[in-house]
Structure 1
Amino acid sequence: MRIHRHLIPAIALAVLPISSAQAGLTGVSVGAGLWSQDPRGYMESDGNRADVEDDLQIGSETGYFVWADLRHPVPILPRLKLQYTPINLTGSGTVDNSFEFGGVGFTTQEDVDSEVELDQTDIVLYWTPWSLLFDLDVGLNIKYIDGFVEVESQNNGEREKVSFSGPLPLAYARTEFRMPGTGFFGGGEGSFLAYDGHRIVDVTLRGGYRAGYGVGSLAVEGGWKYQNIRLDDFDDIDADVTVEGPYIGVSARF
């Protein structure tokens, strides 16, 4: 079961009183993109650590992300952004050094298939205290992580799978600068957590071009996405995984 299928409708229902309390939303933005994901780090279960690259034989992948942003004119109420970022990393290879994961041992020269999943649903409640020469948003991001690590031996069929999931609260900030009269823009967005042994840094740096049409606009952008997810006894798993790389995206405002 993927939690985002249930969370997003629930949050949409929760925000209905906001939209019904006034004439309607002042704007809706939607977007999607492709992200080249280059991973490194480790996953640990039952005291056994597996390196993402050296042990699990995980390499780079191309993933996607989608998001929606709902804006309204009530200053004291937060605006809402929803984003879904699936991260699914797979690999196959020969083990260079023996290791254990979740109680199962994998020996040198053993061939393994591995999969790491770190799906994320971000539910962001934010305010915009400044929007003159540039936009500044600040708020709270509830990041729901739903993932697993699976390792299987091609030699003897032994297999270990460890699943984990749960929400974490992060501070959120976003800024966007615009070049007047050109349509070009740049900026960044980030969510941060350092609490109870957990540490998450989720940053996007972007630049792009936006063109108006009718009452809306279309934009293309590119940049760099960086995530470092450090978990300490999170649903019985420890991890320190970094995923980063360039991305391209498109979006529309209505």
Structure 2
Amino acid sequence: MVDGKGIKLATLLACSVLSAPVAADTVFGVYAGGQFWQTDTSGSFGSTNNNPEFAFDDEQQSSYYLALEHPIPLFPNLKVRHNELVSNGQQRLSQDFSFFGTTFSADNPINYQTDLSHTDYTLYYELFDNDLLTFDLGVTAKRVEGNLEVRSQEFMRASATDGWIPTLYSQLRVGIPATPFTVYGIANALSIDDSKIEDYEAGIEYRVVENLAVDLNLQLGYRVFNIELDDLDNIYSNLEYRGPYLGLEVHF
């Protein structure tokens, strides 16, 4: 899903991370977690750059991840995260809508579904790591295997999208002294020509269990995911997913 410019930019980002001073965990750590995300979806998509605004239903999405951290400074840590991102909607068209050769006429009702579910593969370094402040920096490769579908009483048209999207990854965590709370923010973002990916979340974490064997954390936050595509695999989009989430993380 990305061109040569995207690959070159991702390479530059990776080199900048590799050249930065790094700090590593003193012990091997495994983080596993999941989130339930209530999304309000808005925007448009199509096979041209003139598409109507669609009315999407509110949806509950899920996301889960596994991260491995180690004490070897020269090697990055690894995080794999799968994100469900499916939205449905229906409306009566206010204008003609052409989708990959099929024209859906104005005033006709249509149903549609966007599936932009994807898996993030992140390599990152802990530039700071102490009880009060943690800052991670790295790169993410988003593996998207999506599907866009439009249906009417007369026609049904679908288009699949399959590819990789590179982004710059960062995470900042700040512990609140003398409390079991931590505030944090996570970002995956990149802009190439007229295409843009932005995936931001911010939240607060409560440490329910904290000992030498295991940590158990509850998370409450807000996430925003924007995807703007300009003639990428013949797809144009300007979609935004936003809403609160509730999560749980276990650290071994």
Match of 1:150 in 2: 149
Aligned partner of residue 116 in structure 2, secondary structure: strand
Conserved in 1, the CA contact under 8 Å of 2:49 and 2:236?
Answer: no
> What RMSD in Å do the two structures reach over aligned CA positions?
1.8
Match of 2:137 in 1: 138
Counterpart Cα distance in 2 of 1:217 and 1:196? 43
The Cα shift of 1:214 comes to 4.9
Higher relative contact order structure (alpha carbons within 8 Å, sequence separation ≥ 6): 2
Conserved in 2, the CA contact under 8 Å of 1:207 and 1:222?
Answer: yes
The Cα shift of 1:213 comes to 4.3
Structure 2 gap segments, 5+ residues each: 1-25
Structure 1 gap segments, 5+ residues each: 1-23
Q: Structure 1 pair 241/35, CA: closer, same or farther in 2 (3 Å)?
A: same
Counterpart Cα distance in 2 of 1:231 and 1:94? 24
Counterpart Cα distance in 2 of 1:114 and 1:214? 49
The Cα shift of 1:68 comes to 0.8
Match of 1:106 in 2: 104
When normalised by structure 2's length, the TM-score is 0.84
Q: Name the aligned partner's letter for residue 201 of structure 1.
A: E
Structure 2 residue 60 is the aligned partner of structure 1 residue 51: no
Q: Structure 1 pair 159/48, CA: closer, same or farther in 2 (3 Å)?
A: farther
Structure 2 residue 201 is the aligned partner of structure 1 residue 204: yes
Q: Structure 1 pair 121/242, CA: closer, same or farther in 2 (3 Å)?
A: same
Counterpart Cα distance in 2 of 1:117 and 1:109? 25
Structure 2 residue 38 is the aligned partner of structure 1 residue 41: no
Match of 1:81 in 2: 79
Aligned residue pair count? 225
When normalised by structure 1's length, the TM-score is 0.83
Q: Name the aligned partner's letter for residue 230 of structure 2.
A: D
Q: Name the aligned partner's letter for residue 30 of structure 2.
A: V
Match of 1:17 in 2: none
Counterpart Cα distance in 2 of 1:204 and 1:247? 9
The Cα shift of 1:52 comes to 4.8
Conserved in 1, the CA contact under 8 Å of 2:46 and 2:98?
Answer: no
Counterpart Cα distance in 2 of 1:232 and 1:82? 27
Q: 76-85 or 87-96, which moves further after superposition?
A: 87-96
Counterpart Cα distance in 2 of 1:244 and 1:68? 23
Counterpart Cα distance in 1 of 2:37 and 2:144? 18
* 1:32 counterpart (20, 31, 34): 34
Match of 1:18 in 2: none
Please give the residue correspondences for 1:1-254 in structure 2 after superposition, counting only pairs within 5 Å.
26-45=28-47, 47=48, 49-53=50-54, 57-132=55-130, 133-154=132-153, 156=154, 158-210=155-207, 211-254=209-252
Conserved in 1, the CA contact under 8 Å of 2:52 and 2:97?
Answer: no
Q: 193-202 or 219-228, which moves further after superposition?
A: 193-202
Counterpart Cα distance in 1 of 2:93 and 2:53? 12
Q: Displaced runs of 4+ in structure 1, greater than 4 A? A: none
Conserved in 1, the CA contact under 8 Å of 2:52 and 2:95?
Answer: no
Q: Structure 1 pair 52/85, CA: closer, same or farther in 2 (3 Å)?
A: farther
Conserved in 2, the CA contact under 8 Å of 1:34 and 1:64?
Answer: yes
Counterpart Cα distance in 2 of 1:40 and 1:73? 43
Counterpart Cα distance in 2 of 1:236 and 1:92? 23
Match of 2:9 in 1: none
Conserved in 1, the CA contact under 8 Å of 2:126 and 2:137?
Answer: yes
Aligned partner of residue 179 in structure 2, secondary structure: coil
